[in-house]
Copies of this chain bind each other. A is one copy, B any other.
Amino acid sequence: MTTDTFPKAVSKQVKIGETTVTIQGIAKGSGMVAPDMATMLAFITTDARIGHDALQTLVSSTVETSFNSITVDSDTSTSDMVLAFATGAAANDKVRDVNDPSFADFRRAFADTMQELAIMIVKDGEGLSKLIQIDVSGGVDSHSARRIGLAVANSPLVKTAISGEDANWGRIVMAVGKSGEPANRDTLSVGIGGHWIARNGMLLADYEEAPIQKHLHERHVTIQIDLGLGNGAARIWGCDLTHGYVDINGSYRS
């Protein structure tokens, strides 16, 4: 059983030294719907010549900001999988060190491929009407910022508020609080669509709802959270919670 509604593929060409190489990625997934089969799959292929350790390092370092930064419904499948293959068919000098300067373009393109595929999976989130991007800054560290972003992305009350196109910043504050991560009401700022609603714990006197309301009508909603505590930052992608999700996961046998 699959609930994917569109194919997910990315293709990029970059140079390693003088050699043009190709990176391609395909992915499958839209929810953690079938515990006996793999529910999210991603395969990245390239013709570049890359040593095994270098490729593994590249995957490990980019998976955190791509596939591990998305959430459809907080439910984790036992069979998610990301695999990368390098055939070596291209004639570039074999890359053994991911920090090699000639490898910089490839590194960036590889990270972009991972991230674009991950976002495609959320965009196909079961029943969603909106993609939600959450930018967290000012956390005590990036791990803490990630956990706060995921708490907001997984909150049913935030997800339904966005589905209902309401700038309910109180629910965002609630989700920050329940993450259990360091946060201080007096340094917390929250915005939607790039417009701050509250700064340092205070509702802005000149906060205008019209541009935020306009943003909430779009299919790609962004939420900004600044904790005002440190330099920890993270970007998380989630989606809203709709009747479609309840249908897909509650009525699949009828």
What residues of chain A have their CB less than 8 Å away from a CB belonging to chain B?
32-33, 35-36, 73-78, 154-157, 160-161, 163-164, 166, 170-171, 173-175, 177-178, 241-243, 245-246, 249-254
Contacts and interface: CB of A to CB of B under 8 A. Distances in A.
Given A156-B249, A242-B250, 15 more contacts: A32-B157, A35-B171, A36-B170, A73-B156, A75-B156, A75-B157, A75-B174, A76-B177, A156-B245, A157-B249, A160-B249, A161-B250, A163-B246, A163-B250, A166-B252
A155 B160 CA distance: 16
Copies in the complex: 2
Given A164-B254, A246-B242, A78 B35 contact: no
A254 to B, nearest CB: 7
A247 to B, nearest CB: 8
A250 B164 contact: yes
A157 B254 CA distance: 16
A246 B245 CA distance: 10
Contacts of A249: 156-157, 160-161, 164
6 contacts: A73-B156, A75-B175, A75-B178, A76-B174, A76-B177, A166-B253
Nearest to A185: B78
Given A75-B155, A173-B35, A160 B250 contact: yes
A157 to B, nearest CB: 5
Nearest to A32: B157
A156 B128 CA distance: 14
A253 B162 CA distance: 12
B170 A74 contact: no
Contacts of A156: 73-75, 156, 241, 245, 249
